[in-house]
Structure formats: structure tokens, C-alpha cells
């Protein structure tokens, strides 16, 4: 690596106390608070997937069905792991680090976790494709005739078991639809609403996957001492576009009172902002090093023969 971890954090190497300045300590506390919240966030998604799985998984569920049911929590786990790999790579790794085994292991894990994230996109896409097989199985008035058959009703991502006690209290209108692979029902408005959720899940996952690729590009460029140029501008503005997409998706979730997803988006954007700060300091140090080298070369040119 071209620079030490202290360079990447924008720290002064001239004194040991600078590395542990009050400002730096505060920044590190804030950083690890955000990273700690990511673990809690993973736990929330896992618990949400477990609750949903109680309504969507049965004896006929395939392996793909299991992966789809836990796609969100698997995605969260992969992202948490990647955040720590990139934190190590952009902040803690010294410039003289040259352990090919460790670097190889990091690359393998990056590919593994990227594959898990790609699986999430595939799972979400399969859920969108599944919508074309949705068929109406009755009118709204027939919901209670389907009670006590192990079915659940979904609306705004919330499940309610359809029983003789609950069917009359479930708000529904229009036609009743059954999901082709899950023992789950919804109504006309619920199908339209769920279609938007599923499509935006794919858009959001694809935007984050693009950010992952652009972040890897940033690290590879900096690792080679490249801190400016067309590729740097490409990854910079590419990320801006992706973040705008994510903010737009968050606005939809906010309108649907899905505050957990809005919080999740904020938390991940904050986490990647921390990585961007690491890389921004890295770029600044590369530029300073290049400027200093240029001045040194100029001084040599002016020296007497």
C-alpha cells in the first residue's frame, strides 16, 4: 500500500500524540458507534425475516424459497463484513503491508460476500417475476371462506394469519390474490403496493451493488497511487447517482411508514461516508506526496552541475 494507516486517516505522522488527538478520538468513537449499530441492524433484519418465514415457509418450500426468505438478512451480513474489510483496507493497513496470504484471503472474502449480495438481487428479481403468476382466487367477500387453512394476508409488509377470528377484521377490497409459491394472500391494492416494494427492492439492491463496485474501483486506483483522472471522476459521480436513487427509494419507504428501512438506508449511507472520508484523506496525501516530489525534482534541476 502506498501510504500508512495514519496517512489514510489524514493524521500527522510527525508526533505520536497527533494520532490520538481529541478530534481523532471523537471521530473514531463516532465511527465505531455507527459500525456497532450495523450489528444491531443485522439482528433486526434477521428477526424480521424469521417472523416473515413463519408465514411464507412450509413443507413444500424449495431451497431457493429459503434463500429468498432470508435474502435481506444474508444481504445485511455480507455488507457488514465488507464494511470491516474496507475499513481495514482504507484506514488500518500500513503502507509496508505485503502479506500475500492475508491479501488473498481478503480478496476471497470480498468475492464471497459480493456473491451473497448478488444472490439478494437475484432473489428480489425472482420475486418481481413471480408477480406475473398472481391470479385472483375470489372476491373480497370470500376471504372468510379461506379461513383456518394456514394462510396469511399481507398488507404494507405486515402479515396477519387468516382465521375465523381475524378474517372479518382484515381490511381488504377488490379481488383476493394468492401468491404462487407462498401460503399468502393479498387484495387488489395490496398487490399493487407489494409490486412497488418488490421492484424498489431490486432497484435499491442494484444501486448498492454498483456502489460496491465503485468503492472497489476507488481502492484499486488509490492502491496504485492514482488520485485524479477520468476514472476517479467516473466513480465519484457514479456514486452520487446511486445515492440519489437510494434517497428516492427511502422517500417511498418513509411515505409508507416503513421507518426501519429508512433508518437502514441512513445507517448504510453514513457507513460508506466514513469509508469515503478515509479515501478522501488518502487522495489528499497522495496529492501532497506528488507535490512534494515535484518540488524535490525542481530543486534538483536547479542545483549546480
Distance in angstroms (rounded) separating the CA atoms of residues 21 and 9? 12
Are 161 and 91 a contacting pair, CB within 8 Å?
Answer: no
296 band by pLDDT with thresholds 50, 70 and 90: low
Question: Cell 451473497 identifies what position?
Answer: 116
SS3 for 83-129 is: HHHHHHHHHHCCCCCCCHHHHHHHHHHHHHHHHHHHHHHHHHHHHHH
The one-character DSSP state at 169 is: T
| Extents of the domains making up the chain | 5-297
**Range from 56-65, 146-155, 220-229 carrying the lowest mean pLDDT:** 56-65
Could you report the per-residue pLDDT of 242-263, keeping only the tens digit for each?
Answer: 999 999 999 999 999 999 889 9
pLDDT tens-digit map of 153-190? 999 989 999 999 998 899 888 899 999 888 899 999 99
Give 2's pLDDT tier (boundaries 50, 70, 90): very low
Q: Which residue has the cell 440519489?
A: 244
pTM beyond 0.95: no
Amino acid at each position: 500500500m502506498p501510504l500508512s494507516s495514519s496517512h489514510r486517516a489524514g493524521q500527522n505522522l510527525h508526533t505520536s500524540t497527533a494520532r490520538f488527538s481529541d478530534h481523532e478520538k471523537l471521530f473514531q468513537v463516532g465511527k465505531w458507534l455507527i459500525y456497532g449499530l450495523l450489528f444491531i441492524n443485522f439482528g433486526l433484519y434477521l428477526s424480521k425475516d424469521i417472523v416473515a418465514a413463519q408465514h411464507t415457509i412450509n413443507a413444500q418450500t424449495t431451497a431457493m424459497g429459503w434463500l429468498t426468505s432470508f435474502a435481506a438478512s444474508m444481504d445485511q451480513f455480507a455488507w457488514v463484513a465488507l464494511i470491516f474489510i474496507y475499513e481495514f483496507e482504507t484506514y488500518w493497513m500500513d503502507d509496508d503491508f505485503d502479506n500475500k496470504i492475508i491479501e488473498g484471503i481478503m480478496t476471497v472474502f470480498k468475492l464471497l460476500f459480493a456473491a451473497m449480495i448478488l444472490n439478494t438481487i437475484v432473489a428480489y428479481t425472482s420475486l418481481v417475476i413471480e408477480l406475473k403468476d398472481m391470479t385472483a382466487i375470489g372476491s373480497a367477500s370470500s376471504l372468510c371462506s379461506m379461513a383456518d387453512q394456514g394462510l396469511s394476508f399481507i398488507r404494507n409488509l405486515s402479515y396477519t394469519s387468516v382465521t375465523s377470528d381475524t378474517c372479518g377484521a382484515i381490511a381488504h377490497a377488490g379481488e383476493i390474490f394468492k401468491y404462487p409459491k407462498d401460503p399468502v394472500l393479498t387484495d387488489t391494492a395490496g398487490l399493487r403496493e407489494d409490486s412497488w416494494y418488490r421492484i424498489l427492492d431490486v432497484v435499491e439492491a442494484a444501486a448498492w451493488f454498483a456502489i460496491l463496485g465503485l468503492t472497489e474501483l476507488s481502492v484499486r486506483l488509490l492502491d496504485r497511487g492514482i488520485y485524479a483522472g477520468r476514472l476517479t471522476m467516473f466513480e465519484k459521480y457514479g456514486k452520487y447517482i446511486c445515492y440519489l436513487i437510494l434517497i428516492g427509494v427511502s422517500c417511498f419507504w418513509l411515505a409508507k411508514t416503513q421507518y426501519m428501512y429508512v433508518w437502514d438506508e441512513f445507517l448504510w449511507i453514513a457507513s460508506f461516508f466514513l469509508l469515503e472520508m478515509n479515501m478522501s484523506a488518502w487522495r489528499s496525501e497522495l496529492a501532497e506526496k506528488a507535490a512534494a516530489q515535484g518540488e524535490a525534482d525542481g530543486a534538483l534541476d536547479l542545483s549546480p552541475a
